[in-house]
Amino acid sequence: MTIASYFANDYPEAREKFIAAAKDAGAALERYTNPAKGPSGEDLTTDVAWLGPQDASSVLVTLSGTHGAEGFCGSGVQVGWFRSGRAARLPPDTALLQIHAVNPFGFAWLRRTTEENVDINRNYVDFDEPLPVNEGYLKYRNLICPDQWSEEIAAQTTSEINRLIEELPPMVMQGAISSGQYVDPNGIFYGGQRPSWSRLTTESIFDRYLASAKRIALIDYHTGLGPRGYGERIGVGSPGEAAWDRSQNWWGDVTSIHDASSTSAPLHGTNMEAWVRYLSHAEVTATVLEYGTQPLSQVLTALRADNWLHAHGDLDSDVGRQIKRQARDAFYQDSDDWKTMIWSRGIDTQEIALARLAAGTRS
């Protein structure tokens, strides 16, 4: 099979490929059904595949579609891992847990967010505590998320945002847009007011499959930041903290969102930091794999357009269809060279994780 054939054209095809590949590889499957439906009225599910001994001490966990439409990328690596014969080569006392479409709604509807318009990767805050305040978002809200949308408005707001990104200190404008906000349910990078379905589901999956694991590696697949096709490994936390230092020791080229080494702004309520705490019974080593697609300004415009469509527009219109094509391209480069880059870096990252987990198992 070619590398390109691991990747799908839409969410239903991705799910079908994942389930078929997992079955053929001998993995056990389970599904969690989302309350919403897809564009053709289809069921939306997060599918879970487990391969290896039930009581394995070490578990490699891969996650796709945390940000919905970014799911094409991680799904392709997950399917390919099953299809490429690697299933037969798991180290002893080691299992693989692949979680497909953490946010199936966003995957199916080509949105980054969930059925609640929530960005899962800003949703992992303690909702009993005061929520983070993003002053920059409040200040620039009408520029970031205008009520009207046209080519002219897109061009004009994009150029004003680019000017502010240039003029303000590094990451100030990017942070205003993307670090997360908890006040505007119709805005972008909204963290929500309660744990999302996807967060609760992921926690249930972890409870069910990872309770007795001693060593866990987590790889969460994302797209939309950085040079096209390059996979940045973003560690959890900061240099000097045990989890980040271990990830650097494993992979050697890990960045941090907290020390300006990453293409990402510092963020509130991220899933990975919460998961390392949630799974504190085990030694957790984690990385985000963040692959570039298009230039940042283009990705942000696509996101802002999609948010306008969700809040004010009509999906069944020329502008609606055009925005959806733009959103898909911002998160998925549907070309063989890009898929090959995704695959090589993804597999390299997973094989290093499996080797390190195995080394820990023997010691």
- Tell me the closest approach of the beta carbon of residue 310 to Zn ion, in angstroms: 17
- Residue 51 tokens read as 């391969």
- Residue 183 tokens read as 């006040």
Contacts for 54 with CB less than 8 Å, ≥ 6 apart:
95
- Tell me the closest approach of the beta carbon of residue 75 to Zn ion, in angstroms: 14
Backbone angles phi, psi at 313, to 5 degrees: -100, -170
- Tell me the closest approach of the beta carbon of residue 199 to Zn ion, in angstroms: 15
User: What distance in Å separates the CA atoms of residue 312 and residue 162, rounded to the nearest whole number?
Assistant: 24
Are 219 and 285 in contact by the 8 Å Cβ rule? The answer is: no
Considering only the stretches 28-36, 65-73, 150-158, 295-303, report the one whose residues sit in contact with Zn ion under the rule CB under 5 A: 65-73
Considering only the stretches 69-77, 100-108, 226-234, 324-332, report the one whose residues sit in contact with Zn ion under the rule CB under 5 A: 69-77
Considering only the stretches 64-72, 77-85, 249-257, 348-356, report the one whose residues sit in contact with Zn ion under the rule CB under 5 A: 64-72
- Tell me the closest approach of the beta carbon of residue 70 to Zn ion, in angstroms: 5
Strand 58-63 and strand 215-228: the pairing is: parallel
- Residue 64 tokens read as 């796709």
- What is the CB-side half-sphere exposure of residue 29 using CA atoms within 13 A? 18
Cβ closest to Zn ion, residue 80 vs residue 224:
224
- Tell me the closest approach of the beta carbon of residue 225 to Zn ion, in angstroms: 8
User: What distance in Å separates the CA atoms of residue 57 and residue 360, rounded to the nearest whole number?
Assistant: 10
Considering only the stretches 36-44, 59-67, 132-140, 242-250, report the one whose residues sit in contact with Zn ion under the rule CB under 5 A: 59-67
Q: How far is CA 132 from CA 128, 137, 157, in A?
A: 12, 12, 26
User: What distance in Å separates the CA atoms of residue 70 and residue 119, rounded to the nearest whole number?
Assistant: 12
Cβ closest to Zn ion, residue 216 vs residue 299:
299
- Residue 35 tokens read as 């309350």
**Among all residues, whose Cβ is closest to Zn ion?**
222
Considering only the stretches 18-26, 62-70, 89-97, 189-197, report the one whose residues sit in contact with Zn ion under the rule CB under 5 A: 62-70
Q: Which of 275, 206, 222, 217 is nearest to 246 (CA)?
A: 217
- Interface with Zn ion, residue 111, by CB under 5 A: no
Strand 43-51 and strand 28-37: the pairing is: antiparallel
Quick one: which of 17, 67, 83, 100 contacts Zn ion (CB under 5 A)? 67
- Residue 227 tokens read as 């040079």
- Tell me the closest approach of the beta carbon of residue 95 to Zn ion, in angstroms: 26
- Tell me the closest approach of the beta carbon of residue 264 to Zn ion, in angstroms: 9
For the window 334-353, what string marks contact with Zn ion as x by the rule CB under 5 A?
--------------------
Cβ closest to Zn ion, residue 95 vs residue 102:
102
Q: Which of 223, 221, 198, 357 is nearest to 303 (CA)?
A: 223
User: What distance in Å separates the CA atoms of residue 102 and residue 114, rounded to the nearest whole number?
Assistant: 10
User: What distance in Å separates the CA atoms of residue 112 and residue 114, rounded to the nearest whole number?
Assistant: 7
- Tell me the closest approach of the beta carbon of residue 73 to Zn ion, in angstroms: 10
- What is the CB-side half-sphere exposure of residue 95 using CA atoms within 13 A? 22
Region 208-237 residues binding Zn ion, contact defined as CB under 5 A: 222
Q: How many residues of this chain bind Zn ion (CB under 5 A)?
A: 3
Cβ closest to Zn ion, residue 58 vs residue 223:
223
- Tell me the closest approach of the beta carbon of residue 112 to Zn ion, in angstroms: 7
Furthest-apart CA atoms within the chain: distance in Å: 62
Cβ closest to Zn ion, residue 70 vs residue 232:
70
Considering only the stretches 28-36, 60-68, 162-170, 236-244, report the one whose residues sit in contact with Zn ion under the rule CB under 5 A: 60-68
> Which positions lie near Zn ion, rule CB under 5 A?
67, 70, 222
